[in-house]
Structure 1
Amino acid sequence: MGRHALPGQPPVPLTLRKSARARRISLRISQLDGRVTLTYPQGVPESEALSFAKTKEDWIREHLEARPDAVDIGFGESIPIEGVVRRIVPAEGRRILLDRDNVSVPAGGEARRLARFLKELARDRLIGACDDYAAMLGRSYSSLTMRDTRSRWGSCSSHGGLMFSWRLILAPSEVLHYVAAHEVAHLAEMNHSPAFWAQVERIFGPYSEPRRWLRENGTDLHRYRFDAGT
């Protein structure tokens, strides 16, 4: 995998990937970090792939400019918590406090402190939701873990282990609950068959709206930058 760039202001970094499975040259722009990946077949010269990217420069720059700006967590910034946008302000005491308009965070490492608080809040909400849905389903899960995943919001292993992105706590509550129900339903149906979706609807109810919200707005939840490793 090589790195190049389209010249211009600003230059656009390109990640080149030669693939034995590729049948044509293709471009992909990550909605999470804006990385531009140029994939091309084994028999195609690198220069030809770069020429292809040059012909798509206007398209690439247009898509990059349309991406939402990243938000570095700190005092004065705003962040959605359970779908409610709150301003980050200094706390008078040593605890993080939520009210309708603000999240008060003690000074000093506030991004790291807030990330830890959000992870704990997400775990609390997800355990409660998964316990309820598992009881309705008549199945039990073996574990529940939290990660900062980039490619999926949740998963269910064949051994009943549930995994969720803690950033779901930034989404509206019904979206978090939908994802919890989705993964719990996999305890009964390890697929996405009509039988699976019937289980989701049985334990959660109509799910089209939260599913659509996540598809249309989920990328924005990755805008918020905390300390490394969150």
Structure 2
Amino acid sequence: MGDLRPNRIIRSRRRTISLEITPDAALIVRAPIRASDAWIMKVVEEKRGWIEKKIIETKNRPSLGERHFVRGEEFLFLGKLYVLEVLSGSNTGISLGDRLYIGEERLPECRRLLKEWYAEKAAEILPARVAGIAAILDYVPKKIRISDTRRRWASCSTSGTLSFCWRLILAPPEVIDYVVIHELVHLRQPDHSDRFWAKVEKVMPDYLRHRHWLRENEGMLAI
């Protein structure tokens, strides 16, 4: 790949360097505040093989491609693809039936309306799935938030608040449940130790399949 330079370097009060390949195949480096550019590039070069492999894998992952918001385009909802149907002469917003509908007069606003629709559905569905699974596991989150993050699908704060990205609502229900279980387990096991993964596996024995789906198909879960 020739000269391998980070697309972005983020310095903070951390002790180690971490490397991240974003869904659009960009290399992000997180480093200590006083880390020199020379040291960062040395680490990047040492990890060249891993970085190049991950970039190739990311570029080869499934994607719905650039959005045009036109009749016939497909959009995911709960893991199922729906064709966008434009209602001639109509001023209605987004609605769901056997297809995803929008009024012709609202088509210029389609991206914004879709994001708002997905966020509303996420606010309806995700807390209900959390509540159902939490009741079975006897885990009690303090609060549930729906967020608009790009780097994380979900997170668990030290205060017990669970946050979920609205884009998760595009994924299949079993993948959503994996993320929910992951965050609920964090309420009692804040790290990603072997003990943490053992607890996740006890609740969802096939969690690896769903985690793999999310990693391989994150490019599909975008608007």
TM-score (norm 2): 0.70
Cross-structure match for 1:192: 192
Cross-structure match for 1:220: 220
Residue 104 (structure 1) aligned with residue 101 (structure 2): yes
Aligned with residue 74 of structure 1, among 62, 65, 69: 69
Residue 130 (structure 1) aligned with residue 126 (structure 2): no
Cross-structure match for 1:86: 82
Structure 1: segments with no counterpart, 5+ residues: 1-5, 7-12, 225-230
User: Which residue identity does 2:134 align to in structure 1?
Assistant: A
Alpha-carbon distance change, 65 to 165 in structure 1, aligned in 2, over 3 angstroms: closer
- Name the structure with the higher strand share: 1
Q: Give the distance between the partners of 1:151 and 1:29, measured in 2 at CA.
A: 10
Root-mean-square deviation (Å): 3.9
User: Which residue identity does 2:102 align to in structure 1?
Assistant: V
Residue 127 of structure 1 and its aligned partner are, at CA, apart by 0.7
Q: Give the distance between the partners of 2:10 and 2:120, measured in 1 at CA.
A: 41
CA shift digits 1:78-102 (9 cap, x unpaired): 11111111122224562532234x2
User: Which residue identity does 2:26 align to in structure 1?
Assistant: R
Residue 117 (structure 1) aligned with residue 117 (structure 2): yes
Residue 73 of structure 1 and its aligned partner are, at CA, apart by 5.0
Alpha-carbon distance change, 132 to 74 in structure 1, aligned in 2, over 3 angstroms: same
Question: Which has the higher mean CA deviation after the structures are superposed, 139-148 or 196-205?
Answer: 196-205
Q: Give the distance between the partners of 2:121 and 2:208, measured in 1 at CA.
A: 25
What SS does the corresponding residue of 1:105 show, helix, strand or coil? strand
CA shift digits 1:179-225 (9 cap, x unpaired): 01111122222222344334334444531211111122123323x3x
Identity %: 29
Structure 2: segments with no counterpart, 5+ residues: none
Q: Give the distance between the partners of 2:36 and 2:75, measured in 1 at CA.
A: 45
Contact preservation (8 Å) 1:105, 1:113: no
Residue 156 of structure 1 and its aligned partner are, at CA, apart by 0.8
Cross-structure match for 1:155: 155
Q: Give the distance between the partners of 1:22 and 1:198, measured in 2 at CA.
A: 27
Cross-structure match for 1:228: none
User: Which residue identity does 1:104 align to in structure 2?
Assistant: Y
Residue 171 of structure 1 and its aligned partner are, at CA, apart by 1.1
Larger radius of gyration: 1
What SS does the corresponding residue of 2:116 show, helix, strand or coil? helix
TM-score (norm 1): 0.68
Cross-structure match for 1:31: 22
Residue 42 (structure 1) aligned with residue 19 (structure 2): no
Residue 69 of structure 1 and its aligned partner are, at CA, apart by 6.7
